[in-house]
Chains A and B, each alone.
Chain A
Amino acid sequence: MSRLFTEAVLIGIVASGIRLAVPLLLASLGEMYGQRSGVLNLGVDGIMLLGAFSGYYLVLRTGNVWVGLVMGAFIGLLLGLASAVISVTLKAEQGISGIGVYLFGLGMSDLLFQKMVGTPIPISGFPDLDIPLLSDIPILGGMLFQHSAVIYMAFAAVPISLYVLNRTTFGMNIKAVGENPEAADSLGVSVTKIRYATVTIGGTFAGFAGGALAIDLGIFQQNLTNAAGFIAIALVYFGAWRPMGVMAGALLYGFVNALVLQLKTLGIISRGWSDISAMAPALITILALVIVARRFRQPAALTKPFTRGT
């Protein structure tokens, strides 16, 4: 047990937890916008996969991680737009259409990878960006301030989302449309425009998350996200549709995962308990967030298509 409390190990656990949390945080924040406006997009994982492939591919071809990241986000934007067409304009059953988007992303990302790349080829990931002065703080500096720029961008998106949702007209309209689209419509708010905007924002976040994941890992592989998009959707529910709740859920999931890995590495969790302990991150996160989320209710119009005059 004493090996757990060394500086290197403690820094490693926290830094690892943050890295594991970031793709979930980004995808969850994006999905939160859509759900707050009443649209559930179960296709997040598929969008992440196509964002991951496109980001990876652009870095492979150009060597520029930022070009790759932008491409991941752009592909996410396009797929978010397509999701909005399906859910908002065509008023498709959101659960079913989302699964369709997921399967499209899963299959297409693999097909593109097979045809355009073939065997996994490593790429250079994001360079670390040490924050001046803060990164020199003993222990804390290594844990929190020696990450890549994408990590800081992800966490910066939390207060920005908080501000957008609670302090801007756009945010108020999102919440109004998600709670009572008929009332919002009667006040002149375009439900269609708001929902298009939020689902497209969600897709962009998901594509960005996928691109960030692939570039950070420096590789792409079939089904790279390993269902992270579905965990992200769950985190929106359990984070009570609030940016801080979503962030808390993502961090909890990441930290428990990192802690379990480190405990296994040091032999504190025996090999006999290895497979069971692998379930711990999901179980603990769900338990913790269910307790919190029970106090909140979902947007009243979530998953309900809007038709004027009905």
Chain B
Amino acid sequence: MRKPRFIGIAILMAFTLVVAACGDDDADDTTAATTAATTAATTAAAPFRIAIVAPSASNDLAFSQSIVDAVNVVAAEMGNVEIEVTDGTFVVDDAAAAIRAYAADGVDLVIAHGSQYGGSLSEIAPDFPDTSFAWGTAADTFGLPNVYSYEAASDEGGYVMGVMGAALSTSDVIGVVGPIEVGDAKLYVDGYQLGALAEKPGATVNIVYTGSFGDVALAAEAAESHLAAGADVLTGTAQMVVGAVGVANENDMLWFGTQANQTSLAPSIVVASQVYHWEVLLRDIIANIEDGTLGGEIYSIDLANGGLVIEFNDGFDLPADVRAKADAAIAGIESGSISTTP
């Protein structure tokens, strides 16, 4: 007689969890939901379909959120756009399956948002010559006519952040928490170091690559190691930095964000964030697709084209002279008088 009772408990538990999942729905579904649709009421034409495959949560306040936010902006501008999102595909095989499924389903633009997806995409894209793919962050279309690639000159914002970080540091020890030394993470970290040393040549910039994009606990301990080494200013890149922001907040260390606006994580210590506005290049890509060009171009967002924007935290009392240094750095980068690569 016990077996049915225990099975009943298990079923009840699973049911409870599912009901809980469906209960409170206050979250912003436009970014979190797997499928969202924006349909213009005034047009009867078939919607332009965009699918995003991203490695982390679509609301990670970092890499994945940046592309989801951008697609939502473009969709709102265009109207009659259907968006589908598969997030959390940190397993490349899962991402490849999703990319292939979207292409087979007739999606107009499949965005493979992760440099690690390149190998899979180069095999999938030739099987769907009528589908357009966009891959980032990378600067390689594999010579395929239906693949666009995109990257972010994150070293530019990194440089600006580094200038401010060094100017605000009183210990002259600055900490950086990175994931793996590749892609826009490496660009950002290199740019940050360059900016910090340009502002304060005698400063010490300690850089830790944790070896993981997703290990929040390790990122938190990396921040602790910077604290032990005397740092009073921190920055970091990739989705695992939420752990480092927490440590910075507990210890009143200043934080500079990148990829998305991270002010909400710690309003009192986040000075500014470099925010990716991929919509700058997505508009061009979609226009090209509608004109019949499905790929073959490499795009980049930077400060000059408005794809990278330094968003300052209005709640942080940034000294006017430091703000002036940041503005000067931005102007110098946009004019080409400042180089942000080592």
A11 adjacent to B216 (CB under 8 Å): no
B24 adjacent to A118 (CB under 8 Å): no
Contacts A122-B265, A222-B57 known; 5 new A-B pairs at CB < 8 A: A81-B10, A125-B250, A221-B216, A222-B87, A223-B214
Contacts of A13 in B (CB 8 A): 225, 228
Once the chains are docked, how many angstroms separate the CA of A81 from the CA of B57? 29
Q: Which of A8, A120, A224, A274 contacts B211 (CB 8 A)?
A: A274
A262 adjacent to B216 (CB under 8 Å): no
B208 adjacent to A265 (CB under 8 Å): yes
B242 adjacent to A115 (CB under 8 Å): no
**Among B25-33, B101-109, B296-304, which stretch is in contact with chain A?**
B25-33
Instruction: Tell me whether A118 and B246 are in contact in the complex, defined as CB-CB below 8 angstroms, given that A12-B225, A261-B222 are known contacts.
Output: no
Contacts of B229 in A (CB 8 A): 3, 8-9, 262, 265-266
Within 8 Å of chain B (Cβ to Cβ): is A168?
A: no
Once the chains are docked, how many angstroms separate the CA of A79 from the CA of B17? 11
A278 adjacent to B212 (CB under 8 Å): yes
Once the chains are docked, how many angstroms separate the CA of A85 from the CA of B14? 13
Within 8 Å of chain B (Cβ to Cβ): is A114?
A: yes
B206 adjacent to A266 (CB under 8 Å): yes
Within 8 Å of chain A (Cβ to Cβ): is B227?
A: yes
Q: Which of B23, B208, B264 contacts A121 (CB 8 A)?
A: B264
B88 adjacent to A120 (CB under 8 Å): no
Once the chains are docked, how many angstroms separate the CA of A218 from the CA of B201? 35
Instruction: Tell me whether A217 and B246 are in contact in the complex, defined as CB-CB below 8 angstroms, given that A85-B6, A85-B7, A222-B88 are known contacts.
Output: yes
B17 adjacent to A112 (CB under 8 Å): yes
Quick one: which of B57, B217, B242 has the most chain A CB within 10 A?
B217
Contacts of B79 in A (CB 8 A): none
Within 8 Å of chain B (Cβ to Cβ): is A116?
A: yes
A16 adjacent to B224 (CB under 8 Å): yes
Within 8 Å of chain B (Cβ to Cβ): is A264?
A: yes
**For window 44-82 of chain B, which residues contact chain A by CB distance below 8 Å?**
56-57, 59-61, 65
Contacts of A9 in B (CB 8 A): 228-229
**For window 76-94 of chain B, which residues contact chain A by CB distance below 8 Å?**
87-88, 90
A261 adjacent to B218 (CB under 8 Å): yes
Q: Is the interface of A mostly helix, strand, loop or mixed?
A: helix
Once the chains are docked, how many angstroms separate the CA of A119 from the CA of B262? 11
Residues of A within 8 A of B (CB): 3, 8-9, 11-13, 15-16, 19-20, 23, 50, 78-79, 81-82, 85-86, 89, 108, 110-122, 125, 213, 217-219, 221-224, 226, 228, 257-258, 261-262, 264-267, 271, 274-275, 277-279
A12 adjacent to B228 (CB under 8 Å): yes
Select from chain B the residue with minimum beta-carbon distance to A219. B242
Closest CB in chain B relative to A210 CB, distance in Å: 11
Which 9 residue pairs are nearest across A and B when measured between Cβ atoms?
A: A278-B211, A12-B228, A118-B27, A222-B57, A265-B225, A218-B246, A274-B209, A226-B215, A114-B32
B216 adjacent to A217 (CB under 8 Å): yes
Instruction: Tell me whether A258 and B225 are in contact in the complex, defined as CB-CB below 8 angstroms, given that A85-B10, A119-B59, A119-B61 are known contacts.
Output: yes
Contacts of B57 in A (CB 8 A): 110, 113-114, 221-222
Contacts of A121 in B (CB 8 A): 264
Closest CB in chain A relative to B259 CB, distance in Å: 13
Q: Which of B33, B56, B215 contacts A222 (CB 8 A)?
A: B56
Once the chains are docked, how many angstroms separate the CA of A213 from the CA of B243? 11
A271 adjacent to B60 (CB under 8 Å): no
A116 adjacent to B23 (CB under 8 Å): yes
Select from chain B the residue with minimum beta-carbon distance to A278. B211
Closest CB in chain B relative to A228 CB, distance in Å: 8
Q: Which of A265, A267, A277 contacts B222 (CB 8 A)?
A: A265
B264 adjacent to A119 (CB under 8 Å): yes
Once the chains are docked, how many angstroms separate the CA of A50 from the CA of B21? 12
B32 adjacent to A275 (CB under 8 Å): no
Could you give, for residues 221-256 of chain B, a 1 whenever the CB lies within 8 Å of some chain A CB and a 0 otherwise? 110111111100000000110110110011000000
A257 adjacent to B243 (CB under 8 Å): no
Contacts of A86 in B (CB 8 A): 10
Contacts of A217 in B (CB 8 A): 216-217, 220, 242-243, 246
Contacts of B9 in A (CB 8 A): 81-82, 85
Contacts of A78 in B (CB 8 A): 13
